[in-house]
Amino acid sequence: MKKLLLGSLLLFFLLSCGNKKTKIDPFATITEMVDSVHHKADTLQQAEVKEEPKPIEADELFDDFIFNYASDDALQRQRTLFPLPYYKGDTVVKIEEKYWKHDHLFTQQNYYTLLFDDEEDMEVVGDTTLKSVQVEWIYLKTHMAKKYYFERKNGMWMLEAINLRKIETDENEDFVGFYTRFVTDSVYQDRHIYNPMQFVTIDPDDDFSILETTLDKNQWYAFRPMMPTGKLSNINYGQKNEDQSNTKILKVNGIGNGYSNIYYFRKRGGQWELYKYEDTSI
């Protein structure tokens, strides 16, 4: 029995001596875990590297792009050139991306407006070759204009600058001043309507036909819709919009509701008048 016990102790001693040759790292498992975390962190940092924006299908037509730009915060930040120059009169500030606030432009309204000098200019709206477009707010009461400058480079539309300025006397103030009073003063409006007024609309008996007729003043007041007040938007695709033009066209487009009204103004004898109205709303 003693011999058996002695042999067992001797075997245990020999095994213990042999094991000294193998060094056991008690922190091996923890080290592997830390290395794994560092590896994942490195991978995450690589994934967070900001990618260059790429053209999208909406870049082909500016109208498609601007609605995406105004609606999608991530896209808006990708397509804004930071730090963004913001001109206020004679001063300029640079807006860093961290201070940028999402700009919905006119998409939170149920309509937007466009200004043209003549009917031929209205055809530039669907031009897919445009390289430069400006989106503008015209504030009627303060006579201020805020213009966003978009440029298409490498197939992508980018916002490159904003300019906030006072509308000068030689920069459409004549028409802007007239329109402001026209939509807020009914007596003034009555004196600046051509009688009878040309009227274009969809034939009530045939949705695919256009009806051209006239309206006298009483009919105008019965038909007239609510005209935009407070401010007007404008998208300048390259149309003239000359300050001294004697004709102006205001187009009011509904957003997602089929609304379409066009107002034609002209200056005769130094006085502006509304002489034609179109309502082709669906």
Distance CA 166, CA 104 (A): 22
Point out which residues pair with 112 in neighbouring strands: 253
How high is the pLDDT of residue 40? 42
Looking at per-residue confidence, does 177 or 158 come out higher?
Answer: 158
Question: What's the mean pLDDT in 8-13?
Answer: 43
- Where helices occur in the chain by DSSP H, the ranges are 2-19, 28-47, 62-71, 73-78, 173-182, 186-191, 217-223
Q: Which amino acid is at 144?
A: M
- For residue 26, the model assigns a pLDDT of 42
Q: Element (H or E) spanning 86, and its range?
A: strand 84-88
**pLDDT value at 206 more than 80:** yes
189 with 183: CB under 8 angstroms? yes
| Residue 170 identity | D
Q: According to the model, what pLDDT value does residue 6 have?
A: 40
Burial 85-101 (b: 16+ CB within 10 A, else e): eeeeeeeeeeeeeeeee
- Mean pLDDT confidence for 118-135: 94
pLDDT surpasses 80 at 244:
no
Phi-psi domain of 154 (left: phi exceeds 0; alpha: psi -120 through 50; beta: other): left
* 7: phi then psi, degrees, rounded to nearest 5: -65, -40
pLDDT > 70 in the chain, percent: 80
pLDDT digits (tens, 9 = 90+) for 133-174: 999 999 999 989 999 999 999 999 999 999 999 887 655 558
Q: Which helix or strand (DSSP H or E) is residue 27 part of?
A: none
CA 18 – CA 187 distance, rounded (Å): 111
Q: Mean pLDDT over residues 14-21, rounded? A: 45
* Average pLDDT score, the chain: 84
Contact 136, 282 (CB under 8 A): no
pLDDT at residue 50, rounded to an integer: 56
Given this model, what pLDDT does residue 170 score?
55
The pLDDT, as a whole number, for residue 172 is 56
Between CA 73 and CA 217 the distance in angstroms is 46
Q: Is the pLDDT of residue 107 over 60?
A: yes
Q: How confident is the model at residue 188 (pLDDT cuts 50, 70, 90)?
A: very high
Cα R_g (the chain), whole angstroms: 34
User: What is the reported pTM?
Assistant: 0.79
Would you say residue 10 has pLDDT above 50?
Answer: no
Q: Which residues contact 125 (CB under 8 A, 6 or more apart)?
A: 63, 114, 237
